[in-house]
Amino acid sequence: MKAFADTSEITDLTNDLPIYLLQRMPLPDTKIVNELILFIEHRMSLAEDNDLYWDLRMSNALSVVCHARHPEALAISLEVFNWVDDASPFLQHKVLRLLETLLDAETYAPQARRWLKGMKTDQDLYLPLLMLAARLRDHDEFTRSLILAFWDEDAAVSARLMGLTQDAFFLEHLETTLAELAPFLRYLPPHEVLPPLPQHELWSEVAESWFAVSHAEKLTPPWLDPALLIQPQDVIGYNERAQEWQEQLDAHLMERFGGTINTTEDQWLKSLANVELREQFIEARQYYQDLTKTGPKRLRLVTPENSSI
């Protein structure tokens, strides 16, 4: 794809410039990047902006600045996020997406870590900045501690962050979690017509992260059918192959972490020393039993002798 030849090619767009498209484009000229920064600063200085597409234009300009790896791209993104407040949920969301996926980790992760030191976990920018820091994959102790601490906030998201790092440091934690979750899939398998348990959803996240960490520097494992490797440009059958890939991964992990479970459900519960895990399992079992008992309501037929008509 060709690089942008003029700033107006970006600021005059009335449609969203996708991140995946930018990632396939050459870096823009320095002159264009500097003009885009001036454009963003000018829009923020206006007391009132009557342009119907003001947030879209700012979003596209900021996206290109981030793609260009300008030294101040992260600082400008955070400034735009705080400036726009709730005036444009679209622009706020786009800033978060830029932090999560487009900003180059090698360039901006050190800056992200400095911002994280003064942030609380419930702030909107905390998680996107942590994702940016995690993508650097340099085994930073500070980032590791934040990711582990986030497990209590949201275990599934914390697992996803571990996968982003591809850091072997997290492998033991992921494997311990898979071993704890395996009985939930063995004794309480997902139902096709019932909502999945939180443990089922966590298993999927941890499984993906386990694969990302354990196979970061390795060839495709022998248990994975090469025909299921997904090519981004091949859209046909993408979802089907992704599902089959997940099923193969689940089967492999169940054999590895649940293959030694050869007792009945009650026997396993009695031998379980982890009180918290036992309580989680009993609660999940009761939840499933309650759902299966609650069938669809039917009309009660009234016989003529009981009818008041």
Task: Tell me the C-alpha distance between 68 and 30, whole Å.
Answer: 8
DSSP code for 305:
G
Task: pLDDT band for 167, please (50, 70, 90 cuts).
Answer: very high
Task: Tell me the C-alpha distance between 33 and 237, whole Å.
Answer: 39
pLDDT at 138 over 90: no
Query: What local confidence, expressed as pLDDT, does residue 206 receive?
Result: 97
Token pair listed for 289:
């039993």
For 249-259, the pLDDT digits (tens) are 899 999 999 88
For 117-136, the pLDDT digits (tens) are 989 999 999 999 999 999 99
**Polymer length in residues for the chain:** 309
- Give the mean pLDDT of 32-60: 96
Q: At what angle do helices 126-134 and 141-149 cross, to 10 degrees?
A: 130
- The pTM score is 0.84
pLDDT > 90 in the chain, percent: 61
Token pair listed for 307:
């009818």
For 220-251, the pLDDT digits (tens) are 666 666 665 556 556 556 666 767 778 888 99
pLDDT > 70 in the chain, percent: 87
